[in-house]
Amino acid sequence: MLAAMKRTQTAKMLSGAERSAILVMYLSPEVAKQVLTHFDTAELDAIGRAMASVASVEPDVIEHVISDFVNDLNGASLVPRTGPDYVLEVLPDLLPESKREEVQRRLKRVVSTKFQDTIEATPANVLYAIVRTEHVQTQALGLLLMGANSAARVLAEYPDDQRHDLTLRMSGIEKVPTELAEDIEGDILSALEADRTEQWPVPGLERTAKILGSLGADAQEDVLERIAESQPSLSDDLRRRLVVFEDLLRIDDRGLQRLLREIDKNHLKIALRGAERELVEHFMNNLSSRAAADLDDELKTGERIPKAEIEAARAVIIDAAMEQRQKGNLILPIGADAELV
């Protein structure tokens, strides 16, 4: 104990030049050369003179000086770094240029969590919309790179048959080139970054429905049936958007009478709020005189109804009309077919 205290006191008695000399001699020649470039001529002279006396300093004292320096250096750090930060930001600059890229790439795959962190903070439906456009094998690898929780969220967005196929593909992957993994992560991150920038809105669902509406009836039905096999809800949404409520004016009297037998009269009273008078009269003309009078009074004197409720009632009637059209119980020209009427 006394010996240790003596060594500590001896170390504290050393001058700054002597302590600097010990540290410089401890460093490798390459690092020492870089350190010495920061001293002026007078300081270099003092350090050089001090080196002559270092030979007589006990090894334990030298060790104590170096230990103090390391502690001081750690305490003076303005930007404390975690191990991963150091590996990703500092270590590459310390490596030989010939090995830097390869080592940096390998360490990044193990240490960096930027990709997983970004994915975790992104809604599953957004990730699904990005990933599903890729080749199926790329989709499988992309899911594996996301981390278990995030990948499960995205996988849940897939239709059942595609989810099964992707699971099989993921389980068969053992090794992939590091460059390929980086490319996939980079593509996904770039797509997410682009998704956050200002974009020109394109109402894809509505415009797709209009495009389908301009196809012939047979081609249109074939597309919708194929979509229904994997994504029934999307098929229903597209069918619902093939027509708007005002298009029901195209149904002839016989067809409209059949439709009226299938729909709830309360839905009709709500759906006709704010509708064009011509459409209202088209429905009234195919009701009994009493039912038409009641409907007319309801539309004139009834209480106000939220727009969302009106839209919901119209959607129910459109669904019923499309169902009757599909069964052949009424004629409702759509898109290209409507232009031929």
Q: How many CB atoms lie within 10 A of CB 239?
A: 23
Q: Which pLDDT score is estimated for 1?
A: 37
Burial of 307 (0-12, 13-18, 19+ CB in 10 A): exposed
Task: Compare 176 and 12 and report the one with higher pLDDT.
Answer: 176
pLDDT, tens digit, 9 for 90 and up, residues 24-59: 777 777 877 777 787 777 787 777 777 776 656 677
Query: What's the rounded Cα separation, in Å, for the pair 188 and 191?
Result: 5
pLDDT per residue as tens digits for the range 82-114: 455 554 555 556 556 666 666 656 555 555 567
Give yes or no for a contact between 139 and 166, defined as CB atoms under 8 angstroms apart: yes
Has this prediction a pTM greater than 0.85?
A: no
Q: Which domains does the chain have, with CATH numbers?
A: 2-76 (no CATH), 114-195 (1.10.220.30), 203-242 (1.20.5), 244-334 (1.10.220.30)
- Average pLDDT, integer, range 12-30: 76
Query: Which one, of 65, 76, 20, lies nearest residue 43 by Cα?
Result: 20
Model confidence at 198, pLDDT cuts 50, 70, 90, reads very low
